[in-house]
Amino acid sequence: MQKSLRFIKQAKAKEVELLVFPENFLYIGPNHSFHFTIDSHSIKAIRIQAKESQLNIIGCFPIFNKGRVYNQAILIDKNGEIAATYSKIHLFKAQLNGQETYNEPENYARGFSLAHADINGWKTGMAICFDLRFPVLFRKMALQGTHLVIVPSNFTVFTGRAHWLTLLKARAIENQLYIAAPNQVGRKGATRRSFGHSCIIDPWGDVLSLKSFGEGLVMADISKGRIDSIRKQLPSVALSKEQSFLRRSNFQEGIFGREDLPIRNLSAP
């Protein structure tokens, strides 16, 4: 927690407008039953710091709500108010490299709703880690007019070396929007290591900022003009036929065949 508060102070000093922490940044460990509530002391402390620093902050927490625990990203606006929440839709289940076993569905309930927030005039969407492997989620956000998608993550070294930057660039290029992806870094227990390489990618797939080693702030200036220019030159999102496909499809599992998919449009001043 103290390290997180130091990063908030650093961000304030550098006049950052939006600070995003990695997936489950306050706790990763063997106690899979560990969780916060929306009124937990730690979340209240971050809300206080957001207001004092006049920062928009996104943190990702295991949140207990109505008898279930969700892997949830929370946007706290610069007034210290909770402006939006997103519960991870695609829960990670994998056995990697013969050593690392992950089974999020054992510990978390999945979410069902996308979430958008207006942050200083930027329509901002949220996804979490494993969501990155499901491009339809990002296309749905792009078709809703999203400018920026935040992807708090805990990609492993094994998957990160192979796929992290490739997937992030692909989602940015496909949807002609910015991606900001803070990732956990370092050893997490006896066999698990997180890849790091937090980065910000523009709508053309250019890496604007990358933290190759260790912890620290990753910063970039972003421009709606850059989005407009790319979409004007190569209007792939505007010409997309996926909106029709997404409405007509009849998937029994997942969310994308549902006409009534809720999109929460919330404002963060």
pLDDT (0 to 100) of residue 97: 79
Please report the sign of the dihedral spanned by the C-alpha atoms of residue 238, residue 240, residue 241, residue 247. negative
183-226 confidence digits (pLDDT tens): 999 987 666 889 999 999 999 999 999 999 899 999 999 999 99
Under 8 Å between Cβ of 157 and 195? yes
Domain annotation for the chain: domains and CATH numbers: 2-268 (3.60.110.10)
243-267 confidence digits (pLDDT tens): 666 554 443 334 433 333 333 333 3
First to last CA, the chain: 25
pLDDT (0 to 100) of residue 223: 97
Residue closest to 56 by CA, chosen among 79, 85, 84, 26: 79
Active site annotation includes 23: yes
pLDDT (0 to 100) of residue 100: 80
pLDDT (0 to 100) of residue 143: 92
SS3 181: strand
DSSP count for the chain of H helices, then E strands: 6, 15
DSSP H helical ranges for the chain: 2-13, 41-53, 135-143, 157-175, 224-233, 242-248
CB-based burial, 144-183: b 16+ in 10 Å, e otherwise: eebbbbbbbbbbbbbbbeeebbebbbbbbbbbbbbbbbbb
Question: For the chain, which ranges sit under pLDDT 50?
Answer: 248-269
Burial class (CB in 10 A: 0-12, 13-18, 19+), 190: exposed
Catalytic one among 60, 78, 104, 129?
129
pLDDT (0 to 100) of residue 30: 62
Residue closest to 240 by CA, chosen among 124, 136, 127, 90: 136
pLDDT (0 to 100) of residue 261: 32
SS3 244: helix
Catalytic one among 60, 78, 88, 140?
88
Q: What is the pTM of this model?
A: 0.89
Catalytic one among 23, 60, 104, 211?
23
pLDDT (0 to 100) of residue 250: 41
